[in-house]
């Protein structure tokens, strides 16, 4: 038996990240959400999302009932680097394999992410995977029209400061300073 772990939403502007777990033989699927707060400047710089991704993977492995000697196939994405190290320590590196996730596990994880962003009121582009830049600007334009949804934006990427929408206003700066101290 094999558990397959994938992610969705890491490179997208909206929402956090979905970490999906799929048991191949039974077609069972579960997922965890990495909150968008881990993709905001302070926590993003510290790479807290890597630790959170590892924790999410362990919760999924537990929920799916990892069997003795069962393999864990995990996406090659960098978000899982810490998880792979931690899984190897806990279960033995011979049971962990980095793979390119395709098929049903990828589809289910991606759909879970798309459902979450739709819950925000955003309708994703149909062919978003084929044109990531277009998808980014589509999300950014939606945020400009819905500034109350900025709290669901990943703002930790340094290059976002190029865009007026993501430059911190004085009140937001104060909130972030308070968050940093507390």
Q: Encode pLDDT of 91-143 as tens digits.
A: 999 999 999 999 999 999 999 999 999 999 999 888 766 666 788 889 999 99
CATH annotation of 2-181:
3.30.420
The pLDDT, as a whole number, for residue 165 is 82
The pLDDT, as a whole number, for residue 126 is 81
Q: Encode pLDDT of 4-21 as tens digits.
A: 999 999 989 999 999 999
Of the chain, the percentage scoring pLDDT greater than 70 comes to 88
Model confidence, pTM: 0.87
- Cα gap 121→125, rounded to integer Å: 13
- Show the tokens assigned to 171: 């009140």
Residues 168, 169, 171, 172, Cα dihedral to 10°? -20
**Tokens 């879970």 — which residue?**
112
Mean pLDDT estimate for the chain:
89
Element (H, E) at 84: helix 81-91
The pLDDT, as a whole number, for residue 136 is 87
Instruction: Give just the sign of the alpha carbon dihedral 101, 105, 107, 110.
Output: negative
| Domain spans of the chain, in order of start | 2-181
Whether residue 173 has pLDDT greater than 50: no
Whether residue 61 has pLDDT greater than 50: yes
Which of 26, 9, 46, 8 has its CA nearest to residue 154? 9
């Amino acid at each position: 038996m094999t558990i397959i772990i994938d992610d969705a939403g890491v490179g997208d502007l909206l929402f956090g990240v979905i970490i999906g777990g799929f048991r191949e033989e039974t077609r069972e699927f579960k997922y965890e959400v990495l909150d968008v707060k881990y993709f905001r400047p302070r926590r993003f710089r510290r790479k807290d999302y890597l630790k959170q991704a590892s924790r999410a993977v362990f919760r999924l492995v537990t929920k799916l009932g990892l069997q003795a000697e069962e393999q864990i196939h995990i996406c090659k994405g960098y978000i899982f680097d810490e998880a792979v190290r931690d899984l190897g320590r806990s279960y033995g590196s011979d049971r962990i394999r980095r793979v390119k996730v395709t098929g049903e596990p990828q589809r289910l994880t991606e759909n879970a992410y798309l459902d979450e962003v739709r819950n925000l009121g955003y309708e994703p582009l149909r062919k978003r995977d084929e044109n990531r830049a277009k998808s980014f600007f589509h999300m950014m334009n939606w945020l400009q029209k819905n500034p109350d949804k900025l709290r669901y934006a990943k703002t930790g990427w340094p290059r976002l400061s190029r865009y007026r929408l993501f430059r911190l206003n004085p009140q937001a700066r104060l909130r972030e300073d308070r968050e940093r101290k507390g």
